[in-house]
Chains A and B, each alone.
Chain A
Amino acid sequence: MAEHEWDRERLLEIIRLNKDKPGALLPILHGIQDALGYIPPNSVPLIAEELNLSRAEVHGVISFYHYFRDAPPGKRTIYLCRAESCQAMGSEALETHAKRRLGIDYHETTSDGAFSLEPVYCLGNCACSPSIMVDKEVYGRVTAEAFDDIIENIQVNAK
Chain B
Amino acid sequence: MTIVYVSRDSSALSLGAEQVSASIRAEAAKRNISVDLIRNGSRGLYWLEPLVEVVTDRGRIAYGPVGARDVPSLFEADFLQGGRHPVCLGPTDDIAYLKNQERLTFARVGITDPVSLDDYLAHEGYRGLRRALEMSPSAIVDEVTASGLRGRGGAAFPTGIKWRTVLNTASDTKYIVCNADEGDSGTFSDRMIMEGDPFVLIEGMTIAGLAVGATQGYIYLRVEYPHAHRALNQAIEAAYRSGYLGKDILGSGKCFDLEVRLGAGAYVCGEETSLLESLEGKRGLVRFKPPLPAIKGLFGRPTVINNVISLASVPIILDKGGEYYRDFGMGRSRGTLPIQLAGNIKYPGLIEKAFGVTLREILYDYGGGSATGRPIRAVQVGGPLGAYLPQSQFDTPLDYEAFSAIWAVLGHGGIVAFDDTVDMARMARYGMEFCAIESCGKCTPCRIGSTRGVEVIDKIIQGVDRESNLALLRDLSDTMLNGSLCALGGMTPYPVLSALTHFPEDFGISAAERAA
Residues of chain A touching chain B, judged by Cβ–Cβ distance below 8 Å, are 22-27, 29-30, 51, 60-61, 64-68, 79, 83-89, 120-129, 131, 133, 136-141
> A61 — nearest CB in chain B belongs to which residue?
B283
Chain A residue nearest to B188 (CB atoms) is A124
Per the bound structure, the CA–CA distance linking A125 and B9 in Å amounts to 10
Asked if B305 is an interface residue, CB under 8 A from chain A, the answer is: no
Chain B contact residue count (CB 8 A cutoff):
59
Given the contacts A126-B416, A128-B14, A140-B15, A25 and B185 also touching, CB distance less than 8 Å: no
Which of A24, A26, A29, A126 lies in contact with B186, CB distance below 8 A?
A: A126
Output the least CB separation between A138 and chain B (Å).
4
Bound state CA distance, A29 and B281, in angstroms? Answer: 10
Interface pick from B84-92, B108-116, B139-147, B342-350: B342-350
A150 CB → nearest B CB, Å: 11
The reply to whether A24 and B343 form a contact with Cβ atoms under 8 Å apart is no
Is the CB of B128 closer than 8 A to any CB of chain A? no
Known A67-B223, A84-B185, A87-B430; further 9 A-B contacts with Cβ < 8 A: A23-B280, A51-B281, A64-B283, A79-B224, A84-B343, A88-B344, A89-B371, A127-B348, A129-B342
The answer on a CB contact under 8 Å between B341 and A133 is no
| Min CB–CB distance B186 → chain A (angstroms) | 5
Closest to A26 in B: B281
B343 touches A66 (CB 8 A): no
List of B residues within 8 angstroms of A127 by Cβ: 11, 44, 46, 188, 340-342, 348-350
Query: Is residue B266 within 8 Å, beta carbon to beta carbon, of the partner chain?
Result: yes
> Given A84-B416, A128-B15, do A61 and B282 touch, yes or no (CB 8 Å)?
yes
Q: Write the B1-31 contact mask toward A (1 if CB under 8 angstroms, else 0).
A: 0000000001101110000000000000000
A120 neighbours in B (Cβ, 8 Å): 224, 265
The reply to whether B264 and A125 contact each other, CB–CB distance below 8 Å, is no
Please name 13 pairs of A and B residues whose Cβ atoms are closer than 8 Å in the assembled complex, sorted by A.
A23-B280, A23-B281, A65-B263, A65-B265, A66-B266, A84-B427, A85-B186, A121-B267, A122-B186, A124-B182, A126-B342, A127-B46, A138-B227
CA distance A140 to B284 in the complex (A): 30
B280 proximity list for chain A (CB < 8 A): 22-23
Whether A138 and B185, one on each chain, are in contact in the complex, defined by CB atoms closer than 8 angstroms, is no
Q: Tell me if B199 counts as interface (CB < 8 A to partner A).
A: no
Cα(A69)–Cα(B190), bound, Å: 27
User: Cα distance A88–B372 when bound, in Å?
Assistant: 10
Question: What CA separation (Å) do A16 and B186 show in the bound complex?
Answer: 39
Q: How far is the CA of A94 from the CA of B419 in the complex (A)?
A: 18
Is B292 close to A, CB under 8 A? no
A25 to B279, CA, bound (A): 9
With both beta carbons as reference points, the residue of chain A lying nearest to B372 in the complex is identified as A89
Contact yes or no, A84 B380, CB < 8 A: yes
